[in-house]
């Protein structure tokens, strides 16, 4: 059974981080790319948001009939689409954010600053929507 309190706590944390990320949406590319503090804050917020969602995904999957956790975090988004938490296409789309998360966490390749800058708006759109879908899922899962 999905632990509703756990998921709602994580959603609240994601939403708070998204509110903070909104402060940086109005900054220019140069203001983000050239300001160390702003850049690191945005990096960390995006990383924490994606990690929080992955935690939620893994919890829902573990409590579903699927019972097996995917090794690939991107796949966790896709599986939520397959079990009806949100549309499958949305799962494929938002699942791409794990690529950026992996670059931020593991630093195995150089960060493309243009893509990083564009990810601010994408993250805000996708993860606010993600939160809505998860909260709707919790209501219908009762």
**pLDDT score of 108 more than 60:** no
Q: Which residues make Cβ contacts (< 8 Å) with residue 129, sequence separation at least 6?
A: 90, 94
Q: Which domain holds residue 111?
A: 4-141
Mean of the per-residue pLDDT values of the chain: 90
Q: Tell me whether residue 54 is exposed, middle or buried, using C-beta atoms within 10 angstroms of its C-beta: 0 to 12, 13 to 18, 19 or more.
A: middle
Give residue 60's pLDDT.
Answer: 94
Using CA atoms, how far apart are residues 2 and 110, in angstroms rounded to an integer?
38
CATH number of the structural domain spanning residue 119: 1.20.120.580
Q: How many structural domains compose the chain?
A: 1
The pTM of the full predicted model, rounded to 2 decimals, is 0.90
Kind plus residue range of the DSSP H or E element containing 40: helix 36-63
Banded model confidence at residue 25, pLDDT cuts 50, 70, 90: very high
Single out the residue of 96, 94, 103, 114 nearest to residue 29, CA to CA.
114
Give residue 21's pLDDT.
Answer: 97
**pLDDT score of 97 more than 70:** yes
Give residue 125's pLDDT.
Answer: 97
pLDDT, one tens digit per residue, over 45-89 is 999 999 999 999 999 998 887 767 767 888 999 999 999 999 999
Give residue 109's pLDDT.
Answer: 62
Q: Would you say how long the chain is, in residues?
A: 142
């Amino acid at each position: 059974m999905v632990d509703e309190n756990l998921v709602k706590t994580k959603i609240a944390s994601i939403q708070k981080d998204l509110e903070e990320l909104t402060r940086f949406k109005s900054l220019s590319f140069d203001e983000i790319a050239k300001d160390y503090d702003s850049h690191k804050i945005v990096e960390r917020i995006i990383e924490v948001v994606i990690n929080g969602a992955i935690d939620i995904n893994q919890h829902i999957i573990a409590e579903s009939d699927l019972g097996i956790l995917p090794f690939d975090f991107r796949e966790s988004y896709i599986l939520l689409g397959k079990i009806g938490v949100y549309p499958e296409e949305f799962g494929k789309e938002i699942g791409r954010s794990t690529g950026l998360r992996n670059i931020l966490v593991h630093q195995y390749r150089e960060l493309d600053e243009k893509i990083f800058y564009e990810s601010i708006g994408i993250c805000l759109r996708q993860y606010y929507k993600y939160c809505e879908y998860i909260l709707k899922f919790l209501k219908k899962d009762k």
